[in-house]
Amino acid sequence: MSRRFAPPTRRGRDGTDETTRLIAPFMELAAGLFVRLHGVVLVLLALYAGSGLTVIEADEVGMVLRFGKLVGHDPAAAVHPPGLLFVLPPPIDEVVRVEVGKVYALRIDDLYHLDGRSDGEVDEEIGADPIMADFIGPHKEGYVLTADRNILHARIIARYEVGDPIAYALYVADHDEVLRASVLGAVVQATGEVELDDLLGGGRDDFIRAATVNAQNRLDGVGAGLELVSIEFEELFPARQVIQEFDAVQSAFIAARTVTEQANSYAARTVPAARAVAEAQVSEAQACAARTLGRARSGAKAFEEILETHRADPSVLRERLYQEGIERALDQGGKITFVPAPIGERYTSMRVSISTSTGDKNGE
Amino acid sequence: MVFAMTQRALRYVAGGFATAAIVGFALSFTVKEGRAFVVTRFGSPVRVVADAGPHLKAPWPIDRVSEIDMRRRVLSTPQTELLTRDKKNIVLMTSAAWRPADPLAFYRSVGTVDDADDKLIGLVTNAEIAVFGKYDLAALVSTDETTLQVDAIEEEILGAVNEIATGKYGIEVISVGFRRVSLPEQNVPYVLEQMRAERRQHAAAFRAEGELEAARIRSEADLTAARIRATGEEHAARIRGEAEAEAARIYAASHGKDPEFYRFIRSLESLDRIVGDNANVTLRTDAAPLRLLKESVAVEPSAGVEPSARRKESP
């Protein structure tokens, strides 16, 4: 056995034996070491072979590149769902993982920021120079133009997820830039079609919807493998230089509403008050009518009763009534004068003259 | 001896592996998905390898390989001021998505992604300047939908850029979009002033509308109130009238039974009412009640009482 593996030597047989004898202890030692090293090497080899065992996490998918080429004829076969994945050890296979379950967010400040500066610097800049001068340099500050040529600043957050992991991981470089360009292209185009008042008012949702569809079309056109979840406007406000006038519109709106509300409350007071007056008049009339009818009925009843008595004995009743009437008249009368009966019936029995001056009574 | 034997075997294996690795490394290269390689032999390109996977080549220094990133990417132009057909200045910042379409042409004429960006920026800018000479500003920004032609402009720029990029640089520009549409700084004050004027108008309109609406509400309320009051009065009058009429019927029915007696009773009542504190009453001495005094002295049948009473008294 040893001969088969013994390497050929150019040295003489004696020399070889001598050498062997000399180094034999060392050889034994090395062999002993090698037994151990051999074990280590085998373990390393096993580890290497096993290093192809990969776990694809819950919200990930994995793709295998064998010598750089995607394994699998169609996307369904190429994209591996979460779970254990056996691949060949490097450098043969490479596993590319993509988080597909996650919604990513990209903030887009191109239509807002002073170029190339951070938030703090922008604020500082605004604080130091109140930008009251009517200049907005396109190189300094980003903005959009609305259909009616108003200047608006916008801070956008684009939320997206990976729709096509193969395109995303292998065929598109710099996803953020692709997304940014697509969203900006869509927003700039959509803003140019919408009037400011629509954009800041009721038309905002429609605008965002249109911009989102447009941006998705642009992403699909590039084949970015990204699905937009939403485009959100973190801020959307007119140029700072005209903010005062916009606030004034707001105040005018509130003032108009206040005036209208006051008128409404006036109406709310006036109409029920009139209704109350009318109802009072009606009930008073009803009461009055009831009194009138009551009086009429009782008067009629009294008359009929007295008439009955009168029919029974007219003269006595008449005389009594007459006397009572005269008595009452005399009782009330201020001044009573008696005159003797005339000769020849020239005047009737009683004369009453009533003073027109009722000052005494009114004075009470 | 066994150890020495194994040692040798392993040495061979290791040597074999090392040799294979060196030879493999020298004679092959790996193309990753999304990349392509141009193989040059003594400096001149001989073939393009675009299929992902392992490929053979002659060892250095005969063959050399250059990797080209074929992935789609986006570039942005700097802000470019240009003139529209209606002589308006605008400042555009444009994005273009592109990828190397012909690796060999790309390798020969461009080489790297950065160089490609530089060349494409020039192409896009030139195309923009040319294309916008044919469109008004209203094609980008307008309240009139029919004038908006962003898609057409983008298509036209794309066509113009690709005409050169594809043939000359082996680049396919996939799409073009406007990242920013701005106005030159000197035009901004006019826009801002126009914005202010519009806002002032809006504010005035809101106030006027509010006043108008308030006045309308008030006058409507007043009118409604007046109508309600009038209806109430009318209703009340009708109730009173009906009651009076009913009362009159009742009285008439009752008094009609003996009108003459009613007149008598009524006269007495009137007397009651007429005679008050400030009335001067003149009575004949022969009239009741003083008549009694007279009659007690000497009975005279011709007493001057009220005619009706007298008649009944002395038939």
Q: B218–A267: do the CB atoms touch at under 8 Å?
A: yes
| Cα separation, B215 vs B170, whole angstroms | 73
Q: A357–B278: do the CB atoms touch at under 8 Å?
A: yes
Question: In terms of DSSP H, where are the helices of A88-238?
Answer: 119-128, 165-166, 175-191, 196-200, 204-222
Q: What does each C-alpha distance from A288 to B140, B146, B239, B240 come to in angstroms?
A: 79, 75, 9, 7
Q: Whole-number mean pLDDT of chain B?
A: 85
pLDDT digits (tens, 9 = 90+) for B204-249: 999 999 999 999 999 999 999 999 999 999 999 999 999 999 999 9
Nearest to B175 among A69, A221, A281 (CB): A221
Q: A278–B229: do the CB atoms touch at under 8 Å?
A: yes
What is the predicted pLDDT for the residue at A91? 78
C-alpha distance from A132 to closest chain B C-alpha (Å): 11
Nearest to A279 among B3, B232, B237 (CB): B232
Reported confidence tier of residue B21, pLDDT bands at 50, 70, 90:
confident
What is the predicted pLDDT for the residue at B14? 76
**DSSP character string of A207-219:** HHHHHHHHHHHHH
Q: B250–A5: do the CB atoms touch at under 8 Å?
A: no
Task: Annotate B102-123 with b (16+ C-beta within 10 A) or e (fewer).
Answer: bbbbbbebbeebeebbebbbeb
Partners of A323 on chain B (C-beta within 8 Å) are 288-289
Helix-then-strand count for chain A, H and E: 11, 11
- Taking alpha carbons only, the member of A308, A351, A337, A356 closest to residue B271 is A351
| Cα separation, B73 vs A201, whole angstroms | 36
The DSSP symbol for A170 reads I
ipTM exceeding cut-off 0.85 for this assembly: no
Residue A125: pLDDT over 80 = no
Reported confidence tier of residue B292, pLDDT bands at 50, 70, 90:
low
Least confident of A125-134, A150-159, A217-226, A273-282: A125-134
Least confident of A14-28, A208-222, B147-161: A14-28
pLDDT digits (tens, 9 = 90+) for A38-63: 777 778 888 887 788 888 888 899 99
Q: B53–A67: do the CB atoms touch at under 8 Å?
A: yes
What is the predicted pLDDT for the residue at B35? 92
| Cα separation, A330 vs B288, whole angstroms | 11
Contact status of A132 with chain B (Cβ, < 8 Å): no
Contact status of A110 with chain B (Cβ, < 8 Å): yes
pLDDT digits (tens, 9 = 90+) for B59-84: 888 888 899 999 999 999 999 999 99
Reported confidence tier of residue B293, pLDDT bands at 50, 70, 90:
low
**DSSP character string of chain B:** -HHHHHHHHHHHHHHHHHHHHHHHHHHEEEEPTTEEEEEEETTEEEEEE-SSEEEE-PPTTTEEEEEEE--BEEEEPPPEEEE-TTS-EEEEEEEEEEEES-HHHHHHHT-SHHHHHHHHHHHHHHHHHHHHTTS-GGGTS-SSGGG--HHHHHHHHHHHHHHHIIIII-EEEEEEEEEEEE--GGGHHHHHHHHHHHHHHHHHHHHHHHHHHHHHHHHHHHHHHHHHHHHHHHHHHHHHHHHHHHHHHHHHHHHTT-HHHHHHHHHHHHHHHH--TTEEEEEETTSTTHHHHHHHHS--S-----HHHHHHH--
